[in-house]
Chains A and B, each alone.
Chain A
Amino acid sequence: MISDLLPVPLIRTLSLTLVITSVLVVESRRLRVAAAAYLLQALLIVALLAAFASMNHALYWWAATALVTKAVLIPWFLLRYIRRTGGVEVKPLVGFAPSVLVAAILMVAFFRLTHGQAGLLVPSALAKEEVLRTNLAVASTVFVLGLWALLTRRDAVKAVIGLCLLENGVHLGLVSFAPGLPETALFGVASEVVVTVFLLLYVIEGLFKEFGTTDTFQLRTLRW
């Protein structure tokens, strides 16, 4: 049993906190708070990866990479950008209460799904381990919350934060899908997110100068 090797209660606590930080990232309309919540989430992911690392030592490398990319570089880019263009998000499409409700429903649904159907994704004995299923549920929730943010938020910076959230979900999910992935692959996957965020913020800064706003609903020069 892989679970014997792992600090299961610690992983549970970290996972739950992770979901809460995701909701905070999506819901906070003060971008500085959202970025700080993202930083907190990044630290939790680093801790989780380290907790899982006893089953694959490559995960230590990944935890280190995540620390540099997610907890240092990306928040730094975000905060540097927010300081220049003002810190309040453009009003989102969906308000606070319905949004939190959706998050809760998604979470419950994914717990049920991953506990019933995990074998569908990867038919290995490992994927049926309780702790990895829980991780998969958390990862899918974070992923879908990121997608939710991308779909319902009008602010371009918030969309980037949503994208980061989505990537966090995927990266966390990889631990459950493919615990044996070698570090070169993980390094490639993690470093591309940083470049993506850097480029997107650079383009958004250009947009802000041209359009005077980061509201993506104003981007209507190109139709059809």
Chain B
Amino acid sequence: MKLITHNMLTSKCLKGVMTGYPLAINATDVKVKEVDFNPEFITRVIPKLDWEVLWVAANSIGHGEGLPKTLEPKFEEDEDLLKRVHKVLLEVEVEEGNLTCPESGRQFPISKGIPNMLLTEAEVQ
């Protein structure tokens, strides 16, 4: 699971959960896989991100170095920053571990890089 997915993923499908965001990451295996850098995509996607959630998530899996805690307004001119965001968003992958819902505490396992968001019958709304 890439951190861009984590930034979008919620557990709001659970019964009784209102926002279910952000999910806490507990990673046991993290990999870095090289992906082509596309500055245009990164500048387009940054406004959509919840920056604080990304910062916390990146630090919780040990890849937060060089990421500013708050985003400067003119981030699109800073190519160095874009490259760092690219690395954190698309190259770092959580292979094994689990995600925890902040409201219900329900854990979603991540295995082979794929988070399992399937619910049981009782959890469906």
A interacts with B:
no
